[in-house]
Chains A and B, each alone.
Chain A
Amino acid sequence: MSACQDFSEDLTAWVEEQLPAQRWEQLSEHVTHCPRCAAEAHSLRAAIVWQQRALQAVAALDGVDPLALKVRLRRELRAAADDKAPAWGLRAVWATTFGRFALAGAAVSVAATVLLLGVGPEMVLMPLGLEAPPPAVVQQTDFFKDYPLIERLDVLEHFDTVESVPLDDDGSASQHG
């Protein structure tokens, strides 16, 4: 590759003084001694000056009205702020697609529980703490204690052995049975 070829792609950057110092020095040295590259550099310099002027003219659009654009921008910003306005509680949940599905699912579950158990809504609401229990329950909580024996009835096979599980004095399942 000749020196001219080696330098040709850098000539524009050389004219615009955008090369690293060492490379710029190399090209300066070459251009001083090479009439062809000197002529090309001269031509590029004239082209760059013309292009700067012409491109400024092309881009200088008289019709651009910053004030009108600013009014539009303010409108956009207001709209964006409204979109981002925080919602709280159920509104916030309802605002998302997932939240809507979740709330609808929860409502269906509650309704199904009430229907399947054949009980009143208070049986669902009381365990959730959303409704107070009847006075009798409040006054005699021992009647409603969850004994270990009863806890063991949550699996069907335990029905066969339920009578063989002895209780300790305190009502808990015996550890040595």
Chain B
Amino acid sequence: MPLNAEADPDVQLMLAVQRGDRSAFERLFERHVRGVVGFAAQFVGTRARAEELAQDVFLQIYRARARYVPSARFTTWLYRMVTNACLSEVRRADHRYRVQVQDRPEDGGPGTSRSIPEAATQSSEDALLSQETLGRLRAVLAALPPQQRAALLLARLEGLSYEEVATTLACSVAAVKSLIHRATVTLRDRMHEEY
């Protein structure tokens, strides 16, 4: 996709950050932090860890602002960093995928625990997607190879084109096509009774 920097408000904000505008950085953060945390939570399994990863990624962006070149959409650059952070996290030897969200006391509840599907259902207006369904979907997602999971989420959740997914994952468009197809078929075959 040819870049039209003028058409991407995020690129304009990032260029303002590069010129030293801290408020532009905060606006970028506000626009994308929910999406980044939601995306990261599918990899790391806990909201608290996903928030930490999001913080780390935005700090990286701020530190790398001088080197930013608007050669792609801002979200492509952003999710490249997020995906790399998530893939590093799941490759860590001590990583264990956890479905439960352990809210830390400083996050509001004294050690309270609630599942991500429950949290998701609260925000979903679609009553057909039950907690049980979303819980199973999360389990199937978690069982996908990390590259397939990343490609699928980038395309379906963030709406990136295959070419943008390829840029984000640093692989070919042909590889992305294969990753997304396999993930789509796996999810379909394991969740087919849901639709």
> What residues of chain A have their CB less than 8 Å away from a CB belonging to chain B?
9-13, 16, 18-19, 43-44, 46-48, 50-64, 66, 69-70, 72-73, 76-77, 80
Cα–Cα, bound, A51→B41 (Å): 17
Which B residues are CB-close (under 8 A) to A66?
29-30, 33-34
Nearest chain A CB to B85 CB, angstrom units: 15
Which A residues are CB-close (under 8 A) to B62?
77, 80
Residue of A nearest to B163 (CB): A18
The size of the chain B interface, using a CB distance under 8 A, is 57
Cα–Cα, bound, A18→B124 (Å): 29
CB < 8 Å neighbour of A59 from B58, B120, B162, B192: B120
- Tell me the chain B residues, 50-79 only, with Cβ under 8 Å from chain A: 51, 54-55, 58-59, 62-63
Which A residues are CB-close (under 8 A) to B120?
57-62
Task: Give me 19 A-to-B residue pairs in the complex whose CB atoms sit less than 8 angstroms apart, sorted by A's number.
Answer: A10-B177, A47-B184, A48-B156, A50-B191, A50-B195, A51-B188, A53-B129, A54-B133, A57-B124, A57-B126, A58-B141, A59-B35, A60-B120, A61-B47, A62-B119, A62-B120, A66-B30, A69-B29, A73-B29
Q: Is B8 an interface residue, CB under 8 A from the partner?
A: no
Cα–Cα, bound, A57→B191 (Å): 15
Residue of A nearest to B157 (CB): A55
- 8 more A-B contacts (CB under 8 A) besides A46-B195, A54-B194? A12-B180, A59-B38, A62-B122, A69-B29, A69-B54, A73-B26, A73-B59, A80-B59
| B51 & A69 in contact (Cβ 8 Å cutoff) | yes
| A51 & B138 in contact (Cβ 8 Å cutoff) | no
Cα–Cα, bound, A12→B39 (Å): 22
CB < 8 Å neighbour of B117 from A11, A55, A56, A58: A58
| Known A11-B181, A13-B162, A18-B161: A62·B123 in contact at CB below 8 Å | yes
Which B residues are CB-close (under 8 A) to A58?
42, 116-117, 120, 134, 137-138, 141
Nearest chain A CB to B75 CB, angstrom units: 15
Which B residues are CB-close (under 8 A) to A63?
47, 101, 103, 107-108, 119
Cα–Cα, bound, A138→B187 (Å): 92
Cα–Cα, bound, A46→B26 (Å): 38
